[in-house]
Amino acid sequence: MASVVAGVGLGAIFLTEPVALAAEIVGKPRVVDADTLDFSGRLVRLYGIDALEVDQVCGAEGHDWACGKEARWAALDRLSPHWVTCVVKAGTSEGMVAAVCYLAGIGQYDFNAWLVERGWALADRDASDAYVAAEDAARRAGRGLWRGTFVPPWDWRAGRRLPP
């Protein structure tokens, strides 16, 4: 049986069965990258999405641009004034938890969806299909990474890069 530890405030709740997790993590997180938040040492990976890596480079109009840094900046800009509530969905192989995070309370404003809608993340279809429609809308509108060429973040982490 798998177990996960989810930090809540100053304490921790020990949970089993990651599929049935109901823990919440609340606070003003530090943005590590567009899909990883740090709540005072408790790392949260955004569930159902995969965002550009900070060092990732994309192409647009014949030029390279720092799309990964821009994705992180967009996440930082959106979250910086807000308290965030993350609902834990599962544990990750990196020892983090995967969560859907909200601004203004649970069910109010899905931050994971916002990143995908703005084109700074892709739907992670292996985890969930909840963000596929948001990805389709971003692609149609040419927002974020969809304004040019890019390597999906999972391929970029595997060493694939845009051709010169």
Query: Averaged over 155-160, what is the pLDDT?
Result: 96
Q: Is the pLDDT of residue 53 over 70?
A: yes
Q: Which of the 8 DSSP states describes residue 130?
A: T
Q: Please, what CATH class does the domain formed by 3-149 belong to? A: mainly beta
Please tell me the distance from the alpha carbon of residue 129 to that of residue 4, in angstroms, as a whole number: 23
Q: Is the pLDDT of residue 10 over 50?
A: no
Domain positions in the chain are: 3-149
Report percent pLDDT > 70 for the chain: 87
pLDDT of residue 22: 53
Across 107-154, the runs of DSSP E, i.e. the strands, are 109-110, 121-123
Place of tokens 């599962």: 90
Query: Averaged over 84-90, what is the pLDDT?
Result: 95
Please tell me the distance from the alpha carbon of residue 150 to that of residue 162, in angstroms, as a whole number: 7
How remote is the C-alpha of 100 from its chain's centroid? 9
User: Coil, strand or helix: which one is 82?
Assistant: coil
Could you tell me how many helices (H) and strands (E) the chain has, helices first? Answer: 4, 13
The size of the chain, in residues, is: 164
Q: Which of the 8 DSSP states describes residue 18?
A: G
**Is 37 in contact with 127 (CB distance < 8 Å)?**
no
